[in-house]
């Protein structure tokens, strides 16, 4: 009995350890997506202003913006800009005419128009930061919108110069591999199918916004263009 218990205990320990290594892949704390004062970037909250949470800049447990189907518990307003898509202007015609929620979620900060420091449900009990109010970021005063500054991280509203998003993945087009193709060492995906959102390529196909290890939040390090040839047989 005692031996059996011991075996059971070590089996439980092994299961716990292996599930840890399978899931403990991302650590947003040490990234530019930690927008609290402890983040590694320069665009972040001023210290000590009831704004020191991490997830809250993107997600809320309550009162989320339900217009974002597919961007879970989204805590930001829907962008108001008009987007120009890649597919409707150059090359293919299969792209959607506006970004879908999983990409719109990223663009709700990266469009250069939406306030990064604005939330639907701000941290705290509701008394300190009113809903929709901008929290104090860097040297900007509380209440001032902080938009993505010009530079490569400002994707903008014109997506013609970006890899297509909100486009259906059709094997064979642009030498795309079968969706059943196995991926090795990608964060959060075992096959190409896992990268797709409603059968489409979105920002989250290539990026995991919580992923710290591969740089620029990529799902796989792009050494030897491993990311690109994950989907394209080139």
* Binding footprint of ligand HEC on the chain (CB under 6 A): 28, 32-33, 35, 41-43, 54-55, 57-59, 71-72, 91-92, 94, 102-103, 105-110, 116, 151-153, 155, 162-165, 167, 169-170, 173-174, 176, 188, 195, 197, 201, 203-207, 209-210, 216-218, 222, 227-228, 230-232
C-alpha pair distances (Å), 218 with each of 80, 83, 107, 113, 209: 27, 24, 17, 24, 8
**Least Å distance between CB 15 and ligand HEC?**
20
Q: Which is nearer to ligand HEC, 50 or 181 (CB)?
A: 181
Q: Which residues pair with 158 in a beta bridge?
A: 84
**Least Å distance between CB 125 and ligand HEC?**
20
CA 213 remoteness from chain centre: 14
**Least Å distance between CB 62 and ligand HEC?**
15
Q: Which is nearer to ligand HEC, 64 or 176 (CB)?
A: 176
CA 154 remoteness from chain centre: 15
Q: Which is nearer to ligand HEC, 50 or 191 (CB)?
A: 191
CA dihedral 153, 83, 188, 32 (to 10 degrees): 20
120: tokens are 């639907």
Q: Identify the three-state secondary structure at position 37.
A: coil
Q: Which is nearer to ligand HEC, 1 or 44 (CB)?
A: 44
């Amino acid at each position: 009995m005692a031996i059996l218990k011991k075996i059971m205990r070590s089996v439980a320990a092994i299961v716990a350890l292996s599930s840890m290594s399978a899931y403990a892949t991302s650590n947003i704390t040490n990234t530019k997506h930690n927008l609290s004062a402890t983040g590694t970037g320069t665009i972040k909250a001023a210290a000590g202003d009831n704004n020191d949470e991490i997830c809250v800049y993107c997600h809320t447990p309550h009162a989320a913006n339900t217009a974002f189907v597919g961007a879970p518990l989204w805590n930001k307003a829907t962008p108001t800009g008009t987007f120009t898509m890649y597919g409707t202007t150059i090359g293919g015609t299969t792209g959607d005419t506006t970004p879908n929620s999983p990409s719109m979620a990223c663009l709700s900060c990266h469009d250069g128009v939406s306030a990064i420091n604005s939330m639907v449900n701000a941290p705290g009990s509701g008394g300190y930061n009113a809903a929709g109010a901008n929290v104090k970021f860097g040297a900007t005063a509380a209440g001032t919108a902080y938009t993505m500054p010009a530079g490569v991280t400002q994707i903008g509203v014109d997506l013609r110069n970006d890899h297509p998003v909100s486009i259906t993945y059709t094997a064979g087009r642009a030498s795309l591999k079968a969706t059943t193709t196995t991926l090795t060492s990608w964060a959060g995906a075992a096959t190409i199918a896992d990268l797709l959102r409603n059968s489409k390529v979105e920002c989250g196909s290539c990026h995991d916004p919580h992923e710290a290890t591969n740089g620029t939040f990529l799902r796989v390090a792009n050494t030897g263009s491993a990311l690109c040839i994950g989907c394209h047989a080139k």
